[in-house]
Structure 1
Amino acid sequence: MDTDAVKPPVLRLRVALVGLGIAFVVAAAILLAVTLSVFRVREPVMTMNGIAVKGFGVAPSGGSSVRLTVVADVSVKNPNVASLRYRGSETTVYYRAARVGGAAGPPGTARARRTVRLNVTVDVAVGALLGDPGFLGDVAAGAVAVTTATRVRGRVSVLGVVHRRVVLEMNCTATIAVADMSIHNQSCLQRVCL
């Protein structure tokens, strides 16, 4: 049997397999580079657009407790190339470190590279405010300082391959002018956990 006739096809097969292996490695490197740069999960940005005091009313449960209605206007900007799906938002209002109100916002989706606005209506228990000995003094001085804490939990899924959980938290402090119920000296701090 002639061994010279057998070697060329085997040699061609080896060259083809080595070439295919190199092409596979290069394609994998390019895919990895694109995934880590273009499809990298970026931190969403939450912004408190404003807090509005809407007025007084009776608690929705039909009780006799008086509630103060506050609307928090929050924007969530999604800088990713994939949608951010969030399960909802939680907003809590504090007066002098005591929880006086809270509400949950509905779930939704912030589309890729878009901004979505969340308006959360929070009922603040006036009885809890009146129970604090410093509240009437703040009202007499004309300004009441409050703190709000908003949390949005969601998930970003890029190409169905890269999944990241996202938790956005924003704490804001503001002063409510008693005379016209306007908001002054609002400052917010944001924290993002990926």
Structure 2
Amino acid sequence: MQEDPQAKPLAPVQQYSRSDMEFGGIKPKALPREEKSSKCLVYVLAIMVIQGAVLLIFASVVLRARTPDFEIRSVTVRTLKFGNSPAPSFNFTLLTEVTVGNTNFGDFRFENTTGSVSCGSIVVGDVKIPTGRAQARATERLNVSVDVSSLRISDMKSLSTNISSGFLELNSNVKLSGKVNILNIMKRRRYPEMNCFMTLNLTGQTIQNLTCD
């Protein structure tokens, strides 16, 4: 029998491997329990680190008790009298505006205190600051009157020279004592200090070159 010339050989049967997903009832393998636990631990640690950073920032910014600023903002001269005859002398009143600048997130309550105004190294006036409070993130303004005179100066020659020059170099120093109360959580005592220098123009009856450290 002759072979059919048109007959073609049968193609070999291809075998395909079937994936696990093709079998009904077979599911993907679940992650091991240890791997899930380690991931949860990483998440917990990350949250703890973030919370710690937030608390650190909160403590360093909000709970930090800073020393308030304390200075003289303006000075006006009243009832000025001075002269070299029969003896060198002066007396006048300083009307000052004093400020307590509180940058804390809590009130600063300060006690009454007494400072000084000096001419050279001699105290010529007393600065009396009353009890007060500077609110959180605010500036408290105080009007303080200071009586100044030359009664305590014993060096008449130096005093006469200063009066003849027409200028008196003055220095005011006051130290406050008070407590910063932050959110009723933390109370810290602070001691803001004012140290200001100024020049009194006797002829013009004005204060010049007011600067505070």
Question: Which region of structure 1 is more displaced relative to structure 2, 25-34 or 43-52?
Answer: 25-34
Match of 1:160 among 158, 162, 184: 184
Q: Show the counterpart of 2:96.
A: 72
User: CA distance change for structure 1 residues 179 and 93 in 2, over 3 Å: closer, same or farther?
Assistant: same
CA–CA distance in 2 between the matches of 1:29 and 1:140?
Answer: 64
Q: Show the counterpart of 2:174.
A: 150
- Cα deviation 1:100-146 (Å, max 9, x = unaligned): 11131211110111111122211123322475421122111111111
Shift of 1:67: 4.7
Shift of 1:32: 5.1
Shift of 1:27: 6.4
Looking at secondary structure, tell me which structure has more helix per residue: 1
Q: Show the counterpart of 1:171.
A: 195
* Residue identity matched to 2:96: A
Determine whether 1:138 maps to 2:138.
Answer: no
Shift of 1:37: 2.5
**Conservation of the 8 A alpha-carbon contact between 1:130 and 1:136:** no
CA–CA distance in 1 between the matches of 2:109 and 2:190?
Answer: 9
CA–CA distance in 1 between the matches of 2:92 and 2:59?
Answer: 48
Structure 2: gaps spanning 5 or more residues: 1-46, 82-89
CA–CA distance in 2 between the matches of 1:172 and 1:80?
Answer: 23
Shift of 1:47: 3.0
* Residue identity matched to 2:135: R
Matched position secondary structure for 1:41: coil
Match of 2:126 among 92, 95, 102: 102
- Bigger Rg, which one: 2
Deviation >4 Å, runs of 4+: 23-33
**Conservation of the 8 A alpha-carbon contact between 1:84 and 1:155:** yes
Structure 1: gaps spanning 5 or more residues: 1-22, 58-65, 190-194
Question: Which region of structure 1 is more displaced relative to structure 2, 125-134 or 115-124?
Answer: 125-134
Q: Show the counterpart of 1:51.
A: 75
- Using the size of structure 2 for normalisation, the TM-score is 0.65
- Using the size of structure 1 for normalisation, the TM-score is 0.71
User: CA distance change for structure 1 residues 137 and 155 in 2, over 3 Å: closer, same or farther?
Assistant: same
Q: Show the counterpart of 2:135.
A: 111
